Chain A
Amino acid sequence: MTGVYEAVAIGEVVIAALLLIRLASGPTVSDRIVALNTISTQAALAVLFFAAFARRTIYLDVALWLASFSYLGAIVWSRYLERGLL
């Protein structure tokens, strides 16, 4: 079972590395934000599966934090794009 978790964690990191290409080359700011949003979700999943693989419960809170606060970033960015700084 831990082999599956390890494979999933490595696969998520590879997928996040693929998305980094879009983050670097996205023609508009919105492309970059979408890519960053997806990357943070993949990172949260990778941390979660690494915690299950390594049997370290302390990393579970890191994953929960990442999953809950990355969307705040996306929403704040889109609000900034729509209305400016205020």
Chain B
Amino acid sequence: MREGIVIALAAIGGFFSLTGAVGMLRMPDVYCRIQCSSMTITMGALPLLVALVVGEGPVSSYGSRALLVAALLLIVNPAASHALARAAYKTGVPMWPGAVADQVRDQVAAEAQSEAQ
């Protein structure tokens, strides 16, 4: 029973990690790749860590370290992804030509227009 849960969680995590890696290779621009990267963490790394916790028990040294790493990833990964996306946008990394929305550009244009009036 416990081994079945571990295998299922490991399969979910491995599948999502693999699709995230394929997405990193195939996505057209850096913003889509950031989305794939955080998907790899939230849906790929966390089930794997939960699998380790279920397999070893939460109070064993392996399970407790896995819980620590999971909490750390949950806290820090959104901050790092946000900082990377912001830095990429500010340094002018071009978007994919097929992108349909750039709300920051629209808002800056609207503010400039309202100041001109």
Contact = CB atoms under 8 A, between A and B. Distances in A.
Contacts of B56: 52
> For B3, B17, B56, B73, which residue has the most chain A Cβ atoms within 10 angstroms?
B17
B69 A1 contact: no
Contacts, number: 139
The 9 A-B residue pairs with the shortest CB-CB distance, nearest first, are A78-B87, A30-B88, A78-B83, A81-B87, A74-B80, A60-B65, A18-B21, A71-B76, A71-B80
B24 A30 contact: no
B30 interface: yes
Secondary structure dominating the interface of A: helix
Given A1-B3, A31-B30, A71-B79, A12 B84 contact: no
A60 B56 CA distance: 13
Contacts of B30: 28, 30-31, 34
Interface in B40-59: 40-41, 45, 48-49, 51-52, 55-56
Contacts of A52: 52, 55-56, 62
Contact of B40 (A11, A41, A44): A41
Interface of B: 3, 6-7, 10, 13-14, 17-18, 20-22, 24-25, 30, 33-34, 37, 40-41, 45, 48-49, 51-52, 55-56, 61-62, 65-66, 68-69, 72-73, 76-77, 79-80, 83-84, 86-88, 90-91, 93
